Amino acid sequence: MLEEATEAINPNFTLLIAEDGSNSSPTVDELKWKYHNIVYLQNDRRLGRGKALREAWSKVQGEMYLYVDVDLATDLEKFNAYRNLIELGKRFDLVTGSRYIQGSITNRPWLRKAASIAYNGLVSVFFHTGVHDHQCGFKSFSRRLVEQLNVEAKSDSWFWDTEVIVLARKMGFTIKEIPIVWKEKKGGRTPLKRLLQDMWLHGSGLLVLFCRVHFSKLGRNLS
């Protein structure tokens, strides 16, 4: 799906599959026979989203880098989301899908949605990013922003999505949110244990990032 969708917009691209903590080599090998622009990076040891992407992007050179969750929770066609991700990426350093701006349609369990909205409000209070959704896995990055993030971004976990938006804003890069249609792919219920784990991960990540941005040498350099 991504091959066809991308080629219709820009035929000059590489599809990078960064697999973290699992192995789908037989499936990917079949795809590589059909499509010759696939680069496959596989880690048996789980690195975490942030570290896996930093390692992947450091090995592939491009003018623009796109990141899309493998479950394709974001509908690529509705609102021209995927085309906008690419086309607006020519004008902005960071383009990110948003589930919480006007026009977006979000389908997910109410408890998880409420927790996400509260979290994003907290991030806005702490960092004044002007962004409504700091967690969506649907983004494009300019090469110059990726070069900076490969140095400054430290999170190895799901908190990476928040960190890169905060750092991009603090470093003066341009950011654009786009409306999307987004559907939860993890089932209709949110286990309380998983929600608490996510709250701990993102809460501790916010505390560390707040100290980095406001009290460390990094914060002084960004001021």
Picking from 9, 56, 20, the residue whose alpha carbon sits closest to that of residue 158 is: 20
Q: Which of 20, 93, 161, 198 is catalytic?
A: 161
Place of tokens 């989301």: 81
Say if CB 141 and CB 67 are below 8 A apart: yes
CA distance 50 to 67: 11
Cα 23-20-76 angle, rounded to 5 deg: 100
**Which residues are within 8 A (CB) of 159 and not within 5 positions of it... i.e. 6 or more apart?**
50, 201, 202, 205, 206, 209
Known catalytic membership, residue 161: yes
CA-CA distance, 34 to 174, in Å (whole number)? 37
List, by residue number, the catalytic residues. 161
